[in-house]
Structure 1
């Protein structure tokens, strides 16, 4: 079994999660961790059992022992780091998004194609056992022709205002996962209609963003869908998907976090996932495992460049729909 020299770029929240998972992959040998914060870099180095640290990600990319880069840096740095890694001939795994603008995303992904290097975007839900099994059953025709789709995504609390300023807005930061799920389970989307409001934190309105949203989807295969998003669910991370077809429906929902119900006088108690990091803990491991397997086998990793691009187009279409108060066909987003 081949082992790939790997550089982890970014030692923040997602970087630490990837560090733990990389340490457990027999196909990955973490050569380096790069982060401008030396303390964070050393902490991730210990988790990943990495050989060394760099203050600059570019230095890690150019390390001759590095064959694969895992990018978990802040969003504005993704595009230049992907381009640098592609030019250096490294296989690339990158957290979403590639960039917040379509033209920049296209340019970067064209650099990846020109270099001929493997690329995977971090839509981890595709590797969650519930989502993956649902896709298999849909492909097997278990529920017949799909008629309706519904996805709910609610975070326990809004991110910091500093984070929100650079996030691209709710549709590109949060709802983009639901949009990718829609494509993954149902197919391409032709048209969206979005509504949004500020119901959680008035300061979010000052950023030109919303914290509560609803998006209607019209799919190319004739199915209809709805996506609900909120930045606040006081009981924890609230996420579910329903795919309804002519012969039944599939529901993806993980409740409770611990498979235990305490029945007592007056009812019962169960716990709940609080954040996406614990809800999709297994999916984060499985997506990296699949990426390294694809690189070793010489197969294109998935989700790939096209998925990164099309999810972004849906997010941009939803953003335009909200701002212009009208349905937007995805083909308008060029």
Structure 2
């Protein structure tokens, strides 16, 4: 494709959809052509960000519009798979679909049909494209001499309010380990270059949302936990999640250790949440600690202020879109495949099952391996 500007059709323009719009606006060769968003307030906000975009009353109407060259799905989690299927059936266009790819174990077998019909599907895993995380991924093998232990820690704010409060219930999100942590499970596979074989988790709901009621229901989403994962390579990984830890200096911390040394990555949370009375927000950093000779080396990895202002993900959404547009043009490959998205959800579902049942879950186990 050699069009001068790639036109996006956007399905879902809540908080994340609007972050995507702001980042697409920074690209020199892409624009938002059409928007389907059923909530009037969110539609108005998104059209204010993309005033040349045309509103659509349905996905079918959006797909029928001239100038739509690809589709971004940023709707609530439980809508993703059905909307992918509708695009595949009506007008198979390249799609960038937000995580998670699906939310329930019984739905995962539907992905193969989507894969067969859509020409290009990229699963949105923004954390891969955070500049400090990308540097960590690139250098981890050399710094460690081969990773044997990998730890990812996220201490962050509780789930934000969403339209219709859909993110308060497991039936809509897939559970916290799917909704929030599929990013980290994806990173584990990317960093270790191996697939998981065993998942063990301990988690609960201790602090957040316990006093909330929606149509008489109390939210059932986990707010903290640990997940241990064994990989086929023999490496081990651990996730530590706390969703009432927003007082931290850094939101995400990654640490990989091998026979030659250790490498760490520290990433602050969204700048809009940083307490202004503390001065400037922290700068992301990478720390390499060799065993011989011992002694850590720290490197700051600043992110362009324009990219920080465009969203909450440390500039990553911009880099993700730049690569996606290149793939749509035939000038790059899909970097986060349906299989990557499938594994990230399967690992999350396994962690949910382990935490709630007090059991160890073998993988792929009950899941039909996507090939």
Q: Could you tell me the TM-score, scaled by structure 2's length?
A: 0.79
How far apart, in 1, do the equivalents of 2:109 and 2:328 lie? 22
Deviation at 1:291, TM superposition (A): 0.5
Q: Is the contact between residue 34 and residue 56 of structure 1 (CA under 8 Å) also seen in structure 2?
A: yes
Deviation at 1:29, TM superposition (A): 2.8
SS at match of 1:94: strand
Distance 1:194 1:203, change over 3 A: farther
Distance 1:74 1:332, change over 3 A: same
Name the structure 2 match of 1:94: 97
Name the structure 2 match of 1:137: 139
Q: Is the contact between residue 216 and residue 227 of structure 1 (CA under 8 Å) also seen in structure 2?
A: yes
Distance 1:257 1:322, change over 3 A: closer
Distance 1:296 1:193, change over 3 A: same
Mapping for residues 177-216 of structure 1, pairs under 5 Å: 177-186=183-192, 187-201=194-208, 202=210, 206-216=218-228
> Which is worse superposed, 180-189 or 50-59?
50-59
Unpaired segments ≥5 residues, structure 2: 272-277, 284-307
Q: CA RMSD in A?
A: 2.7
Q: Is the contact between residue 251 and residue 268 of structure 2 (CA under 8 Å) also seen in structure 1?
A: no
How far apart, in 1, do the equivalents of 2:137 and 2:309 lie? 21
Distance 1:173 1:255, change over 3 A: closer
Name the structure 1 match of 2:168: 164
How far apart, in 2, do the equivalents of 1:29 and 1:162 lie? 29
Name the structure 2 match of 1:262: none
Distance 1:159 1:39, change over 3 A: closer
Q: Is the contact between residue 9 and residue 68 of structure 2 (CA under 8 Å) also seen in structure 1?
A: yes
Q: 1:34 aligns with which of 29, 33, 36?
A: 36
Please state if 1:227 is matched with 2:239: yes
Distance 1:294 1:30, change over 3 A: same
How far apart, in 2, do the equivalents of 1:235 and 1:32 lie? 39
Distance 1:269 1:25, change over 3 A: closer
Name the structure 1 match of 2:293: none
Name the structure 2 match of 1:248: 261
Question: C-alpha deviations, 1:114-165, integer Å up to 9, x for none?
Answer: 22411111111111112222222235x3421111000011221244564221
Distance 1:250 1:279, change over 3 A: farther
How far apart, in 2, do the equivalents of 1:61 and 1:257 lie? 33
How far apart, in 2, do the equivalents of 1:20 and 1:130 lie? 21
SS at match of 2:267: coil
Deviation at 1:198, TM superposition (A): 2.4
Distance 1:8 1:208, change over 3 A: closer
Distance 1:281 1:46, change over 3 A: farther
Name the structure 2 match of 1:313: 346
SS at match of 2:174: coil
Q: 2:108 aligns with which of 105, 108, 117?
A: 105
Q: Could you tell me the TM-score, scaled by structure 1's length?
A: 0.87
Name the structure 2 match of 1:295: 328
Give the number of equivalent residue pairs. 322
Name the structure 2 match of 1:263: none
Deviation at 1:49, TM superposition (A): 4.0
How far apart, in 2, do the equivalents of 1:111 and 1:80 lie? 12
Q: Is the contact between residue 156 and residue 269 of structure 2 (CA under 8 Å) also seen in structure 1?
A: no
Unpaired segments ≥5 residues, structure 1: 259-267
> After the TM superposition, which parts of structure 1 deviate over 6 Å for at least 4 consecutive aligned residues?
none
Distance 1:116 1:57, change over 3 A: closer
